[in-house]
Amino acid sequence: MSQLTPVAEGIHRLVPSPAGRVHLVEAGEGPLVLLVHGFPESWYSWRHQLPALAAAGYRAVAVDVRGYGRSSRPADVAAYRMTELVEDGVAVVRALGERSAVIVGHDWGAGIAADSALLRPDVFRAVAMLSVPYVPRGGPRPSEAFAAMGGTDEFYVSYFQTPGRAEAEIEPDVRGWLAGMYAALSADTMPGPGAPDPHFVAPGGRLRDRFPEGRLPGWLGAADLDFYAAEFERTGLTGALNRYRNMDRDWSDLAPYDGAPVTQPSLFIGGAQDATTRWLADAVDAFPATLPGLVSSHLLDDCGHWVQQERPNEVNGLLLDWLTQL
């Protein structure tokens, strides 16, 4: 390990990974809990969970996913496929001198966490998913499914596929774009009923054209936004967006696991106002089959997509209740 730096949130470390390095922030001692963020975020999205988990007797570790922050950013798009990200998590566990961990993920991190549990049950003994429920591999090729959504509008996942396209929209004004994205998916600032859906792009338009402007969500202070903006202004968005550009590769890579359940003890927490939770309601209903080890599932009222930041105290309580049952 290298560059151990104590900070208010914990200790920053760089540890080796298959791509080069993973940056992480660690707090506390005890059983290892690995926290994996989503798009467009960083380890910082777990700033409320790190001290709470540490105080409860856990070794809480929040990583920058490959492509983000101070973690390695390979140039090859295919380097961001799910199997590579799972091995990054294994490398972190090993670098910290541990044999196993509980893994907790939000947004894309929820998918990484679920597939980590699926592919490496020898390492990941329990899994919690925030905002995005487990959906076993199956169905049509993802690019085909997403292309069929939205009618004449383009779903954001499809919009993100072509390298450079979304970057050209975001990178001239990273801070403004992030503020709009966070507001668009937060319960207190998301567009109201009847407004154009910010997950879709009109023909010839941009994703940000449908973002609300002028007000930050209650959970996001100016200093928080400054932190996120500084990270992406330094790194660019390509590494983060490359996760979306591997969904068809993941579909092929995971073919041997078609329909496979995740059997370890599990937890799901979603926001009742989150479009992702509504779109994937059938996946939540399927939990008895897809997550046979499910301990509990929760939908938080008046909560959007950024659950652990919008409702940190409630999420902390649910996580700690679940962890004590493992």
Output the DSSP codes for 62-122.
EEPPTTSTTS---S-GGGGSHHHHHHHHHHHHHHTT-S-EEEEEETHHHHHHHHHHHH-TT
pLDDT digits (tens, 9 = 90+) for 104-161: 999 999 999 999 999 999 999 999 999 999 999 999 999 999 999 988 999 999 999 9
Does pLDDT of 2 surpass 70? no
Give CA–CA dist 174/312, Å, rounded.
25
Q: What is the pLDDT of residue 214?
A: 87
- Let me know if 88 is a catalytic residue: no
Does pLDDT of 1 surpass 60? no
CATH number at residue 292: 3.40.50.1820
Q: What is the pLDDT of residue 165?
A: 97
Q: What is the pLDDT of residue 6?
A: 42
Residue closest to 320 by CA, chosen among 45, 24, 30, 49? 49
- DSSP helix/strand/coil, 236: coil
Domain carrying residue 102: 2-324
Q: CB-based contacts of 202: which residues, under 8 Å, 6+ apart?
A: 152, 153, 196, 209, 210
Q: What is the pLDDT of residue 86?
A: 98
The mean pLDDT of 203-222, rounded to a whole number, is 95
pLDDT digits (tens, 9 = 90+) for 163-179: 999 999 999 999 999 99
Of 64, 88, 107, 153, the active-site residue reads 107
Does pLDDT of 253 surpass 50? yes
How many distinct structural domains can be found in the chain?
1
Of 23, 37, 199, 305, the active-site residue reads 305
What mean pLDDT is reported for the chain? Answer: 96
- Let me know if 115 is a catalytic residue: no
Does pLDDT of 5 surpass 70? no
